[in-house]
Structures are given as C-alpha cells and as structure tokens.
Structure 1
Amino acid sequence: MSVKSAERVLRVFELIAQHPEGLTVKEVSDLLSLPQSSTFNLVGTLHNEGYLNQDSLKRYKLGPKLIQIGTAAMESLDISSEGKPYLKKLMEDVQETVFMALLSDGELVYVVKIDNNRSIRTTAQPGNRKPLYCTGLGKTFLAFLPKDQREQLLEHTELLPITDYTITDKKVLNDNLDSFIQMGYAIDDEENEEGLFCLAAPVFGAKGSIQAAISVAGPKERMLKHKEFIVERLLQTATNISFIAGYEEAKR
C-alpha cells in the first residue's frame, strides 16, 4: 500500500532533479497538479531539513543532504564499490577516463567516473542518465542482454541523432550490436559526444547475466592510437570485476 505523502515527496525530488535551474513552489504545484498550499508546506519542510536549497529568486533546487544519501546509495552497490580499485588501476594503465554504469528503467545510469589528469570534458557524471543506443556503455547492455530484452528496449526507443555520427537506423544498430558480441566489447565512435571515442565491456554476475558495463573514453585520435592495449586492459578489468561479482566463467 502506497503512502500519499511519501509519494509526493518522491515526485518533488524527481521533478526538481529534471530542472537544475530550480523551480518555484507554484511551478512545482502546477507541474505535479498538487494544491499550492500543501506544496508550500511540503517544499518548506524539505528545505528546512536540508533536502532542498532555495536561491535568491525563491526557486528550489536539490539540497546537500541528497548528495550524502546518493553517495551512500552508490557505495551500497557492491559491484561499484568493490570494482572501484580495478577501475582506478585501469585508469592508471590507459591514462584515460574510466566509467562504470548500470541499467535502470531502460536507461544508462553512471555510478563511477575516474578522471585522468589529461581527461577531456564530458557531460557524463555519476548519477547522470543517458540513452542506451548512442553510448558505448549503453550499447554494451543492448549487445549482451538476451535478444528479447534488447528488442523490448529498442521497441520503445526513438533513435534520435545526438551527433552527426549517431546511428538512427535500427537494423544498422542491431548489426552493430551483433558484431560487438563477437568482439566481446562495444564501441561508441563520436555517437554521443563529438570528438569522444569510447570502448566498453560487460561485467557479468553469478548467473551469467550482464550486471554492469565499464568503459574507457578519450579523444578519438589518442584512443585509436592505443586501441589494442586499451581493449586488452579493459577486457581484463571486466573479467576481474566479473570474478568478484560471482561469475563462474571468470574464475576459470
């Protein structure tokens, strides 16, 4: 049985998370179709408790307490916390930015990002969500999930062009994904951010199903120059993390 007041709190958090510029009480009330008086009391309580911040224009944004909770939530994900030392070693080996992501509600959620001192600017940050079809990490999930799950995910996905290189034809994408299965890793060739080349690999769990994806991302020219070495280190790291996640094949 759901509790209405708890549901409203969650809807407020989800709504404000989609509006980093902040929202007024009236905007929250209108967008959630809630009475303004009860919205005022709810938002006020969350502000007083540190879950929301208020700027000089009386617009509310997510507050510092949520950072603590979000960090604790990500740390509680064993695969991310236990895999982090391996990801740090991967970053040191390849000298590029390293990521780990999970699948959530048909989208990619970044849970780990380890920067290198020569990292290039990227919009991907822990907690951010992105589509599956245009990222190396996302295409790893699409490639290594069972075919019926892939079809279900793509059935409800519109392949919008993010860059000039984004694959927007489902047949081409499916052929792309099938080739990744043979290779053992996925590629994002400037499909999500121009200039950024990404190599990604699956992390499997105890039952042999993909649990997470890890990647190395950097400038295309630099990545291609060291591609073979990066792929080798990436796949070894994925195997190591799969081992601690209980994947039997990784133990052989």
Structure 2
Amino acid sequence: MLNKNKTVVKSLDLLNLFLTNEKLSLNEMVQLSGMPKTSIHRMIGSLEDMGFLHKDEESKYSLGLLFLQFGQLVAERLDIRQAALPIMKTLRDDFEEAVNLVVKERNECIYIEKLESTHPVRLYTKIGRRAPLYAGACSRIILSFLPDQEREQYLNEIELVPIGLGTITDKQKLRHVLEESRLRGYSVSHSELEDHTASLAAPIFDYTGQVVGGLSIAGPDVRFQEDRLPELIESVKSAANEISRKLGRKEPVRM
C-alpha cells in the first residue's frame, strides 16, 4: 500500500461507486465515499476530461464511453472467453438454458461471458457479476479444484454468509461437497445465489493442468429435475473438457 499513488487509489474508489450506482451527483459521491467535497470535485473534473465519467444535464455523473472501449478490449483478449464462446453457444442451443463462464479473481469468481436462455422464464446474470467461491455451482467448482493448501486457507479464513435459501453455511458440509465435486468432476447447486434456481458446472483447466474457470448451465429449478440431470452433467463436462483442450490441456481431463 505504501507504494500506491494515493490520488489514483482515491479515483478508483470513486469509480467503484458506479459498480452499484448508475448515476450519482457530486453530493451523493461525497456521502457514499466519505471523501472531502473539494477533493471529489477536483477528481471528477479530471475523470470527466479524460472520458472516464460523463455529466448529464441534471449534473449527474455516469461512467463514460471510454469504459465500453476498455471493456471490449479486455473481453476480446481473454483467451478463455474466445475458446469457450462457440462451445457455450452449442450448449445453450442444445438445452435452451443459460450458459455462464466464470474465472477466479482473488476470493471471488467473476462472470466474464454469458448466453441467455431461449425460454421466456429465465435467469438474468450480468457479465462482471461477482460471487463468493463457496456459493453456486460455477464458483464452487473452481474452489473444488484449487490446490489443497490454497483451498484450505480459503476455507479457514472465509465466513460463510447465506445468500439464497440453499447457500451452504456449514464448513464441514462444504468440505464434503467440495470432495464430492472433485471426485465426480462437476458441481450442482440449488437456490444458493438466487432462490428457486439451479445450476450445474464443470471445471476448465489450462495447459499446466491448473483450474482456470468454470462453465455452468443454469435456470429455474423446475427445469432441473433429477430425470434431466444425467444428460446435462455429461454435456457440461464434455463442453468444459473441450474448452480445456483448446486452452492447451493435452491429456483428457479424467473425472
């Protein structure tokens, strides 16, 4: 932290406010950030000049179009996304359910690609959404395949906070579920991130054999009954294996 530029850090803190707020006034930014009004006024002037913020007729600020350009570049340069997208489209078309791609970032997973279900009743998951590694099939499959020491450190440090009706909040039960997921090569969740939803996920590996992402198919739990699961499991595992091979995984991923 000592090596970080304080102005840059404060500017980023200010921009982070827009992750959960579409538009903010100067006074709202002061209230939410706790920073002095004069400092914020100076920063937003510079951010607006550089295209990071846009000011409307009501003196409300929103993220500038420059972020759209940066976001597109980041998305295009993610090799895993490029490798996964055609396979995700096939999976979505075969089952008409939502398909998600996540990667690990620190102690969370982040959704970097999604394809919507073709059904009128569907889940809405935004690219950029974050979730804890312990909750939801797509997050938990990454946690399941992390190196033992890294996984145990995470489990020892994390607080299991309930999010949905089915969120696992007991560490002993979570360890058992993680072990099952490693043995079976997939993970299933019910109402863990959103109530009355279900998700099924398989891990994606890179050329070194390290887990680098998770692929899931998800939807309302009424469409994920026991009689449908075997076909979904095999298809998701096969799709994740295909993505892994495209990322340089030379050996078949045995699960």
TM-score scaled by length of structure 1: 0.90
Distance 2:48 2:140 in 1: 39
Is the CA contact 1:96–1:119 (under 8 Å) kept in the aligned structure 2? Answer: no
CA distance in 2, matches of 1:106, 1:93: 32
Q: Does 1:231 align with 2:233?
A: yes
Mapped to 2, the partners of 1:247 and 1:136 lie a distance apart of 22
Code of the aligned partner of 1:195 = H
Change (3 A) 1:220 1:75: same
Alignment-derived partner of residue 109 in structure 1:
110
Determine the structure 2 residue equivalent to 1:130.
Answer: 131
How many residues in Structure 1 have an aligned counterpart in Structure 2?
Answer: 251
Q: Alignment identity in percent?
A: 31
Residue type at the aligned position of 1:149: E
| Aligned AA (1:227) | L
- Is 1:183–2:184 an aligned residue pair? yes
Q: Distance in 1 between matches of 2:242 and 2:177?
A: 26
Q: Which secondary structure state, in structure 2, belongs to the residue aligned with residue 108 of structure 1?
A: strand
* Corresponding residue of 1:10: 12
Is 1:24 the counterpart of 2:19? The answer is no
Q: Distance in 1 between matches of 2:253 and 2:101?
A: 21
Query: 1:54 offset after TM fit, Å?
Result: 3.5
Cα distance in 1 between the residues matched to 2:106 and 2:212: 14
**Contact 1:161/1:167 (<8 A) preserved:** yes
* Aligned residue among 229, 242, 250 for 1:240: 242
Going from structure 1 to structure 2, the CA distance change for 1:160 and 1:34 (only over 3 Å counts) comes to closer
| Cross-structure match for 1:215 | 216
Amino acid at match of 2:43: L
Provide the C-alpha distance between the structure 1 equivalents of 2:148 and 2:58, rounded to a whole number of angstroms.
Answer: 50
- Structure 1 residue runs of 5 or longer lacking an equivalent are none
1:173 paired residue number: 174
116-125 or 242-251: bigger deviation: 116-125
Q: 1:148 offset after TM fit, Å?
A: 1.5
Q: 1:167-226: per-residue Cα shift (whole Å, max 9, x none)?
A: 110100110111111111011112111121100000001111101100000122322242
Deviation at 1:55, TM superposition (A): 5.1
Aligned to 1:39: 40
Structure 2 gap segments, 5+ residues each: none
Cα RMSD (Å): 2.2
Task: State the distance in 2 between where 1:169 and 1:114 align.
Answer: 32
